[in-house]
Structure 1
Amino acid sequence: MKTARGFLKPCFIVAGIAAVVAAVIGGLTSGGTGAWAAAAGVALAALGFAGSVWAVAFAEQIDLRLTLPMALITYSIKLALVLTIFSIVKNLVPDALLPLAFGVVGGAVAWLATQVAWAYKAKIPYIELDQHS
């Protein structure tokens, strides 16, 4: 799994670039509030994806059969957290909700596109051969 987590570094780099782009676009369209909210949305998406990777990798160390349940659990937790954060932002800083949402979408697209490009180029064996046969 260590090899398969090699996409984290490029994904974080692209997410950092996406956060800067989101801040500029958010600033131009919604002022200072849009700038920080859009960048925060990108960060929220990146941290959510990375958290899932780390949680699934941890579950894999215990037992490979735990990876799917862990992925589903982390997805549920992330969804609940994002919805809670959106609700809090809507109540406290309503002008930040739309830029935050666009930032989350942009961050998710940037992360997933980077991960797909990395996986396409990676040389990861798709079967594991038993070394003790």
Structure 2
Amino acid sequence: MGGLLVAAAPLAWWRDGGTGALGALAGVALVMLSYTVSSLIIAVTDLRARHLLMPVALGTYILKFAIIGVVMWIVAETGWGGLPWLGALVIAGTLIWVAAQAVWVWRAKIPYVEIEPS
């Protein structure tokens, strides 16, 4: 996410000035905040009530994307010039975050069965 911001913020600044750079920063921050909070909620649920993991995870993601959509809609109503960068970086940040999680899962040594202590 930091690499995305380092690449996109100067481009946004060059193209649309401070408003574009602020939109890029807001897009990355929104994705980072939403995925961090949902990851923490899912981790706590996994530790405390594993049987609720699937509904909590799905509910968290539905709520997260609804909140991102509402934020984008509210910003669109203001006519703010940084909205295109905000939207583009929300999309790019989401794709990068999901790709990073997929790579982590692919490389993780996760057992297929429960390992019982001996």
Offset at 1:46? Answer: 1.8
For residues 40 and 126 of structure 1, do their structure 2 counterparts lie closer, same or farther at Cα, with a shift above 3 Å needed? farther
Query: Could you tell me how far apart the structure 1 residues matched to 2:67 and 2:33 are?
Result: 12
Runs of 4+ in 1 over 6 A off after TM superposition: none
TM-score (norm 2): 0.86
Which amino acid in structure 1 is aligned with residue 48 of structure 2? Answer: I
For residues 19 and 93 of structure 1, do their structure 2 counterparts lie closer, same or farther at Cα, with a shift above 3 Å needed? farther
Percent of pairs identical after alignment? 36
Query: Could you tell me how far apart the structure 1 residues matched to 2:104 and 2:62 are?
Result: 26
Query: Could you tell me how far apart the structure 2 residues matched to 1:129 and 1:120 are?
Result: 20
Does structure 1 residue 95 correspond to structure 2 residue 104? no
Counterpart for residue 5 of structure 1: none
Query: Could you tell me how far apart the structure 1 residues matched to 2:3 and 2:78 are?
Result: 27
TM-score (norm 1): 0.78
Which amino acid in structure 2 is aligned with residue 71 of structure 1? Answer: A
From 25, 31, 35, give the equivalent of 2:21. 35
Counterpart for residue 53 of structure 1: 39
Does structure 1 residue 80 correspond to structure 2 residue 70? no
Q: Which moves more between the two structures, 56-65 or 87-96?
A: 87-96
Q: Write the deviation string for residues 22-57 of structure 1: whole angstroms up to 9, x where unpaired.
A: 212222222211111112111211222222211111
Tell me the C-alpha RMSD between the 2 structures.
1.7
Q: Which moves more between the two structures, 33-42 or 91-100?
A: 91-100
How many residues align structurally? 118
Offset at 1:93? Answer: 4.2
Unaligned residue ranges in structure 2 (runs of 5+) = none
Offset at 1:96? Answer: 1.6
Q: How does 1:9-24 map to 2 (within 5 A)?
A: 15-24=1-10
From 47, 65, 72, give the equivalent of 2:51. 65
Q: Write the deviation string for residues 74-106 of structure 1: whole angstroms up to 9, x where unpaired.
A: 112212211121122112243121110001011
Does structure 1 residue 125 correspond to structure 2 residue 111? yes
